[in-house]
Amino acid sequence: MPRADGYQLGDSIVALATAAGEAGIGVLRLSGPRALAIANILCGLPAARSWRPRHAYLRAFYGSDGELLDRGIALYFPAPHSYTGEDVVELQGHGSPVLLEALLAAAVAQGARLARPGEFTERAFLHGRLDLAQAEAVADLIHARSRSQARAALASLEGRFSEGIDALRQQILGALALAEAGLDFSEEDLGEAHMAAIAQQLQGVQQQLQTLLQQSRQGAKLGRGARVALLGRPNVGKSSLLNALAGRDTAIITPIAGTTRDILREEITLNGLPVELLDTAGLRQSDDPVEQEGVRRSRALLARVDWVLLLLDASSGWQAEDATILAELDAQRCTLLWNKVDLLPAFCPPELGPPSFGISARTGAGLADLRAHLRAVVGGEDSAPYLARQRHVLALEAADNALQEAAMQLHAGAEELVAQGLRDAAAALGQITGAVDVEEILGEIFSRFCIGK
C-alpha cells in the first residue's frame, strides 16, 4: 500500500516513544512484520526466537557494533492484538539520550525504518484498531493543557463521540433505504404512509444531529481554548491586568504611555478552559512608527478573538478616546472593565451597553467575579462531553445542510433528491470516523502527532 511520500504499510518502523532529554526510563517502540526479529537481534538472541506475549523479559540491549548498551525490560504484543494491529515490541531501558539514540541506530541498521510523526497511530487506524476520530483523540490527549481537555479527549478516545456519529449515520442509512425503496417500486404507489415514515425518520435524525452539533461545537471550543484581547487606551492597566490574571510578571509595567508595542500572549485556565490572553498596544494616535504598528496589529486582532475586555480608567472617568474605541467593537463580544477602583472611595460603573465591572489589577479587587464572568461568556459553565475538532464541526454542519435539503425536497415530493440529500449527509458523517474514503486528509491529520505515537 505505497504512497507518494514513500510510506508503505508492510514496512517495519521504529521510534523513541518517550520525550527527548534525560529521564528515569526511555522506550523504543518497533512495529511491523519484522519487529520481533529485529528486537531479538538487539537483545543478542537468534532472530527466530519466540517470545511469550505480554510477558516482561529482562534483556540486554546491544548496539550495531555488538557493544552492550543497556539492560532493561522487553515486551512483545503480537498482531492483531496490539496498538497498531501489527507485531509490536517495546524495549524499556534507562532514559539516557546517548544510549537510546545508539539503540535506535542499531534498529535502523537491522532494517527498521524511522517512523513518521503519528505513524503508529495511523497504522492503528488503517488496521481498524481505532477509527479516525479516536486516532485524533490520541494526539488531543497528549497535548491536553487542562484536566477538562484531558477528560474530554479520553472520552473521545474511548469512543463516546464515534458511537454517537455511527448511531446517527445508521439511522440516516435507514431513512435512505426507505427513500430508495420508493424509487425502486415507483410503479407501485406506496402512498402517504411511506412518505410519512420517511418524514418521521428524517425529523428524528435532524433533532439528534442538532444535539451532536451543539456538543461538538462545545468540544471544539474546549479543544482550541478561547482568545481574549485586552484593549484600551495607554496606561489604563492592560499589562497590570495581564500579570494579575496570569499570576506572574509577564508584561513590563511602567508609568510611560505606549510601553507595550507588540502583542503579548499569556495562557490561563478558567475552570478547565484554556484561555489565551492577548495584551495589546494602547490605542491612540502616535507619531512613533513602532507604536503605530502596534496599534495596527491590535486593531487587526479584533476579528480573530472570542471576546474583548475594554479597560477604562475609573479614576479619570469616561473619555472621548474610550468612546472612539468602543465604537469599533462588537458590543455583543465585549466587557467593560473599570480599573483602578482602589483609588476611589466608592465606584458604580455607568450603563454603557456591554456588561461592566469595577476592578483593581493592583489589589486584585473584582478579579474573582471577572474570572467567573469570562468563563461564562467564552465557554459556558459545563465541560464538553467529548473533545472535537473544527473538521468534525464542519462535517456535522454539512450533514445538517444535507438533511435540511432532503426535508425540503420531501415536502416538494422529489423522492430522488431526498435520497441524494440523505446520501450526502451519511457521507459527511462518515468522514469524521473514516467510514468513507478520507485518504486525502490522513497526511494532514497524522503529521501533527509526535514521533513515536
Check whether residue 363 and residue 232 sit in a common domain: yes
Residues 6 or more apart whose Cβ sits within 8 Å of residue 411: none
Q: What percent of the chain has pLDDT over 90?
A: 49
- The mean per-residue pLDDT over the stretch 160-167 comes to 95
Neighbours of 163 (CB within 10 A): 12
Closest CA to 144 of 157, 160, 163, 159: 157
Q: In terms of Cα–Cα distance, which of 397, 403, 398, 400 is closest to 418?
A: 403
Residue 253 C-alpha cell reads as: 509595567
Residue 4 CA to residue 451 CA, distance in Å, equals 20
H/E element holding 356?
strand 356-358
Which string of DSSP letters, residue by residue, matches 292-325?
Answer: HHHHHHHHHHGGG-SEEEEEEETTT---HHHHHH
Cβ–Cβ under 8 Å, residues 85 and 79: yes
∠ Cα 202 205 206 (to 5°): 85
Residue 141 has pLDDT above 70, yes or no: yes
Compute the distance between CA of residue 108 and CA of residue 104 in angstroms, rounded to an integer. Answer: 6
Asked which of 5-19, 232-246, 356-370 is least confident by mean pLDDT, the reply is: 5-19
* Residues 253-284: tens digit of each pLDDT: 444 444 444 578 888 888 888 888 888 765 54
166 and 73 housed in the same domain:
no
Specify whether 206 is located in the same domain as 239.
no
pLDDT at 59: 97
Residues 307 and 396 in one domain: no
1 part of a folded domain: no
Q: For residue 284, is it within any domain?
A: yes
Give yes or no: residues 159 and 210 share one domain: yes
Inter-residue contact 62 to 106 (CB < 8 Å): yes
CATH number at residue 35: 3.30.1360.120
Crossing angle of helices 160-184/390-412, nearest 10°? 20
26: its cell numbers: 526511555
Same domain, 303 and 415: no
Please report whether residue 146 resides in a domain.
Answer: yes
Are residues 306 and 409 both part of a single domain?
no
Whether the per-residue pLDDT at 105 is higher than 70: the answer is: yes
Neighbours of 409 (CB within 10 A): 19
pLDDT tens-digit series, residues 319-363: 888 888 888 888 888 999 999 999 988 888 878 888 898 999 999
Alpha helices in 93-146 (DSSP H): 97-109, 119-126, 132-142
Q: How far is Cα 319 from Cα 38, in angstroms, rounded to an integer? A: 74
Which DSSP letter does residue 112 get? P
Distance (Å, whole) CA 295 – CA 283:
6
The CATH number linked to 299 is: 3.40.50.300
Q: pLDDT grade, residue 287 (50/70/90)?
A: low
pLDDT at 261: 45
Distance in angstroms (rounded) separating the CA atoms of residues 210 and 208: 5
Parent domain of 117: 13-131
Number of domains, the chain? 3
pLDDT computed for residue 257 by the predictor: 44
Residue 160 and residue 23 share a domain: no
Q: How many angstroms separate the Cα of 68 from the Cα of each of 50, 60, 75, 158, 252? A: 22, 7, 19, 41, 53
Residues 289 and 401 in one domain: no
What span, in angstroms and rounded, lies between the C-alpha atoms of 303 and 102?
Answer: 50
Residue 281 near residue 258, CB atoms below 8 Å:
yes
CB 337 within 8 A of CB 359: yes
pLDDT, tens digit (0-9, with 9 covering 90-100), for 65-89: 999 999 999 999 999 999 999 999 9
Range 234-240 average pLDDT:
86
Buried b (16+ CB within 10 A) or exposed e, 339-351: bbbbeeeebebee
Reported confidence tier of residue 252, pLDDT bands at 50, 70, 90: very low
Q: What is the residue-averaged pLDDT of the chain? A: 85
In a domain, 370, yes or no: yes
Cell numbers 456588561: residue: 355
CA distance 45 to 60: 10
pTM for this prediction: 0.78
Instruction: Give domain status of residue 84, yes or no.
Output: yes
297 pLDDT exceeds 90?
A: no
Residue type (1 letter), 151: R
Considering the domain architecture, whether residues 305 and 374 belong to the same structural domain is answered as: yes
Residues written for the chain: 453
Report the DSSP beta bridge partners of residue 339: 313
**pLDDT greater than 70 at residue 41:** yes
Weakest mean pLDDT among 12-21, 231-240, 429-438, 443-452: 443-452
Instruction: Give the number of other CB atoms < 10 A from CB of residue 360.
Output: 22
**Does one domain contain both 158 and 114?**
no
pLDDT value for 33: 96
Cell of 240: 497590570
Surface-to-core class of residue 206, CB atoms within 10 Å of its CB (0-12 exposed, 13-18 middle, 19+ buried): middle
> Is residue 445 assigned to a domain?
no
Same-domain pairing of 266 and 182 = no
The rounded distance, in Å, linking the Cα atoms of 406 and 209 is: 14
Residue type at position 88: V
In a domain, 238, yes or no: yes
What are 431's three cell numbers? Answer: 468522514
- More confident site: 250 or 208: 208
Q: Read off the CATH number of the domain in which 218 is found.
A: 1.20.120.430
Domain C-terminal end among 86, 112, 131 = 131
Query: Has residue 345 been placed in a domain?
Result: yes
Using CA atoms, how far residue 90 sits from 27, 32, 64, 242, 303, in Å, is 7, 12, 18, 45, 48
